[in-house]
A and B are shown apart, each in its own frame.
Chain A
Amino acid sequence: MIQKKICMVGVYGTGKTCLVQQFVHSIFSVKYLSTVGVKIDRKQVKVGDEDVTLLLWDLEGRDGTRDITPSYIRGAHGIIYVADGTRRETVDQLSDIRTLVTDALGPIPSIIALNKVDLTDEWKLSESDEKSAGGEGVHRLRTSAKTGEGVEAAFQWLAEATMANPGNTR
Chain B
Amino acid sequence: MIIEPSSGDTNGESSLAEFDTLRRLLVGPEQSRIEELSDEIESKQVTAEDLADKLPEAIALRAGRDDHLGRALGPTFETAMRESIRRHPDEMAAAIFPVLGPAIRKSIAETMAALVRSINTAVEQSLSINGLKWRIESWRTGVPYPEIVIKHALVYRVEQAFLIHTETGILLEHVSAPDVNVADADLISGMMSAIQDFVHDSFRPAEGGRLRTFSVGEHTVQVEAGPRALLALVIRGQAPDTLLQKQQDTLETIHLEFANQLAEFSGDSVEFAAARPLLESCLETVVSTDNAGEKGRLVWMKWALPVFLIAAVIAGFWIRSNMRWNRSLAALRAEPGIVVVDASRGWSRWNISGLKDPIARQPEAVISSSGISSPPIVGRWEPYLSLDPSLVALRARHSLDSLTSFIDNERIMFDAGSAELNPGALATLAGIVGSVSRLDAAAAASGGNVKLQLTGRTDPSGADETNAALAERRVDAVAKWLSSIGIDPSRLVRNPVATSSPLEAGDPAERARINRSVSFKVQATTAQATPGGQQ
Which A residues are within 8 Å of any B CB, using their own CB? 1-5, 25-28, 32, 36-42, 52-53, 55, 57, 69, 71-72, 74-77, 162, 167-170
Whether B197 contacts A69 by the Cβ 8 Å rule is yes
The dominant DSSP class at the A interface is mixed
Whether A25 contacts B269 by the Cβ 8 Å rule is no
Tell me, rounded to whole Å, the shortest Cβ–Cβ distance linking B171 to chain A. Answer: 7
With A40-B191, A75-B168, A77-B267 in contact, do A3 and B186 touch (Cβ < 8 Å)?
yes
Asked whether any CB of chain A lies closer than 8 Å to the CB of B167, the reply is yes
Whether B167 contacts A75 by the Cβ 8 Å rule is yes
Whether B168 contacts A5 by the Cβ 8 Å rule is yes
User: How far, in whole Å, are A36 and B202 apart by their CA atoms in the complex?
Assistant: 10
Per-position binary interface string of chain B over residues 430-472, scored 1 when its CB falls under 8 Å from any chain A CB and 0 otherwise: 0000000000000000000000000000000000000000000
Q: Which residue of B lies closest to A26 (CB)?
A: B187
User: How far, in whole Å, are A139 and B390 apart by their CA atoms in the complex?
Assistant: 132
CB within 8 A of A55: which of B169, B183, B201, B266?
B169
Whether B187 contacts A38 by the Cβ 8 Å rule is no
Tell me, rounded to whole Å, the shortest Cβ–Cβ distance linking A150 to chain B. Answer: 24
CB interface residues, B 183-212, toward A, < 8 Å: 183-184, 186-188, 190-191, 194-195, 197-198, 200-201
Whether B268 contacts A53 by the Cβ 8 Å rule is no
CB interface residues, B 458-493, toward A, < 8 Å: none
Most chain A CB atoms below 10 A, which of B190, B197, B201: B190
Q: Which residue of B lies closest to A35 (CB)?
A: B198
Total residue contacts A-B, CB cutoff 8 A:
87
User: How far, in whole Å, are A40 and B169 apart by their CA atoms in the complex?
Assistant: 10
Whether A76 contacts B168 by the Cβ 8 Å rule is yes
CB within 8 A of B187: which of A4, A40, A167?
A40
User: How far, in whole Å, are A40 and B187 apart by their CA atoms in the complex?
Assistant: 6
CB interface residues, B 129-177, toward A, < 8 Å: 165-171
Asked whether any CB of chain A lies closer than 8 Å to the CB of B264, the reply is yes
Residues of chain B within 8 A of A55, CB atoms compared: 169-170, 186-187, 190
Nearest 6 Cβ contacts at the A-B interface: A75-B167, A71-B197, A75-B168, A40-B190, A5-B168, A168-B266
Q: Which residue of A lies closest to B194 (CB)?
A: A38
CB within 8 A of A169: which of B167, B190, B266, B270?
B266
Residues of chain A within 8 A of B268, CB atoms compared: 1-3, 170
CB within 8 A of A57: which of B167, B171, B190?
B190
User: How far, in whole Å, are A167 and B195 apart by their CA atoms in the complex?
Assistant: 27
Residues of chain B within 8 A of A32, CB atoms compared: 191
User: How far, in whole Å, are A37 and B165 apart by their CA atoms in the complex?
Assistant: 20
Tell me, rounded to whole Å, the shortest Cβ–Cβ distance linking A54 to chain B. Answer: 10
Residues of chain B within 8 A of A167, CB atoms compared: 266
Residues of chain A within 8 A of B198, CB atoms compared: 36-38, 69, 71
CB within 8 A of B267: which of A37, A74, A168?
A168
User: How far, in whole Å, are A28 and B191 apart by their CA atoms in the complex?
Assistant: 9
Whether A27 contacts B187 by the Cβ 8 Å rule is yes
Tell me, rounded to whole Å, the shortest Cβ–Cβ distance linking A95 to chain B. Answer: 25
User: How far, in whole Å, are A74 and B194 apart by their CA atoms in the complex?
Assistant: 10
Whether B191 contacts A170 by the Cβ 8 Å rule is no
Q: Which residue of B lies closest to A40 (CB)?
A: B190
